[in-house]
Amino acid sequence: MELTTVWFSLIAVLWIGYFTLEGFDFGVGMLLPVLARDDTERRVMINTIGPVWDGNEVWLLVAGGATFAAFPEWYATLFSGFYLPLLLILVALIVRGLAFEYRAKRDDDRWRRRWDLAIIVGSFVPALLWGVAFANILRGVPIDADLEYAGGFFELLNPYALLGGLTTLGLFVTHGALFVALKTDGEIRHRARGLALPAVGVTAVLAVAFLAWTQQQTGTVGSAVAFVAAALALVGAGLAARAAREGWAFLGTFVTIALAVAGLFLALFPDVMPTTLAGGTSLTTTNAAATSYTLGIMTVVAVVFTPLVLAYQAWTYWVFRKRIAVHHIPAAPAPATAR
């Protein structure tokens, strides 16, 4: 297998890791005003992802870095053409990270509500725009003969891309609801489980429509198999949630997202950014790749360090595997009285 194919596959794995892990982070953030009734319950929900959210974002950083090093033409065209949506995602992620860190810095309800809003918006924007971005990559964008993006921002807001955004939004909300049901106890757990059932139904409709449209446009036999398996996994997640088997239900949405993303990359290969212009040039794993020497060095580094990163993240999830309930949250400190 050529190194360009190896690194295309590794980048696909990195995006799978990012969406399956950060996906429930986004879902928890978006569901903060829906599942929590007071500040203590909001703290319970935030604490379910508190030890892992920043580690989950490492997958995005590595995916971006790997794309820059392995396929520099892909990286350059993607970031110049998708500058505004990627900037919005970046700002949203920064604000969301600040909210997690600063929410508890002051004992003031208004202060906490503002940071809660930052968490909600900072989760919603990437959950929607990542789907829009990936749908446009699959659909193709105007790339000229010089491998430069020749379109505008509003060309990215086409019906297919918007459906892709709604699909990722629905998947992440469902994934997050099942994660909350898996990681909490008491009333929040029951609310999350109750919300997960209708969320699975709505998401299934969106996902089937988007994946079928994708298969019709650029699909292969491999992508068709992945998409069908993803749909079956989502059905299994719904059945498990109905039977109150939160662990199996969460695994179902995890597998659904993983198979759906894998299918998208299978449908894209060997292109990395197809063009919609008659005289344009599509970016492929061949003409967008770095030199063989660069790819060879990167492969050695990946073989050495990837198992270490995976082992550390698995250990983190194992350490923080227990459920969280309201009685685990300490009372907020009383405001100091003037003497």
In a domain, residue 176? The reply is yes
Domain harbouring 49, CATH code: 1.20.1630
* Peptide bond between residue 270 and the one before it cis (omega within 30 degrees of 0): yes
**pLDDT score, position 201:** 93
**pLDDT score, position 337:** 46
Alpha-carbon gap, residue 149 to 162, rounded angstroms: 20
Going by C-alpha positions, the residue among 126, 86, 157, 131 that lies closest to residue 260 is 131
Residue 310 makes CB contacts below 8 A (sequence gap 6+) with none
Range of the domain at 239: 3-296+305-328
Residue 104 makes CB contacts below 8 A (sequence gap 6+) with 112
Q: Would you say 54 and 312 are in contact if contact means Cβ atoms under 8 Å apart? A: no
Q: What are phi and psi of 88, to 5 degrees?
A: -60, -40
Alpha-carbon gap, residue 236 to 242, rounded angstroms: 10
Which alpha helices (DSSP H) does the chain contain, by range?
3-30, 32-35, 39-49, 53-70, 72-81, 83-102, 109-139, 159-183, 187-218, 221-242, 246-268, 292-319
**pLDDT score, position 92:** 96
Domain count, the chain: 1
For CA atoms 98, 312, 28, 163, give the dihedral sign. Answer: positive
**pLDDT score, position 222:** 93
pLDDT one digit per residue (tens) for the chain, 339 residues: 689 999 999 999 999 999 999 999 999 999 999 999 988 999 999 999 988 888 899 999 999 999 999 999 999 988 888 989 999 999 999 999 999 999 988 888 899 999 999 999 999 999 999 999 999 999 988 888 887 888 777 888 899 999 999 999 999 999 999 999 999 998 999 999 999 999 999 999 999 999 999 999 888 999 999 999 999 999 999 999 999 899 999 999 999 999 999 999 999 999 999 998 888 888 999 989 999 999 999 999 999 888 888 898 899 889 988 888 887 777 765 444 444
In a domain, residue 334? The reply is no
In a domain, residue 337? The reply is no
Instruction: Annotate 267-290 with DSSP letters as a single string.
Output: HHTTEEE-B-STT---EETTTT--
Query: Cα 5 to the chain's mean position, in Å?
Result: 23
In a domain, residue 227? The reply is yes
In a domain, residue 98? The reply is yes
Q: Would you say 272 and 71 are in contact if contact means Cβ atoms under 8 Å apart? A: yes
Going by C-alpha positions, the residue among 183, 224, 132, 259 that lies closest to residue 28 is 183
Alpha-carbon gap, residue 257 to 230, rounded angstroms: 7
Q: What are phi and psi of 143, to 5 degrees?
A: -120, 125
**pLDDT score, position 1:** 63
**pLDDT score, position 332:** 61
In a domain, residue 133? The reply is yes
Other Cβ atoms less than 10 A from the Cβ of 75: the count is 19
In a domain, residue 339? The reply is no
Alpha-carbon gap, residue 258 to 276, rounded angstroms: 28
pTM, entire model: 0.92
Q: Would you say 70 and 13 are in contact if contact means Cβ atoms under 8 Å apart? A: no
In a domain, residue 219? The reply is yes
**pLDDT score, position 305:** 87
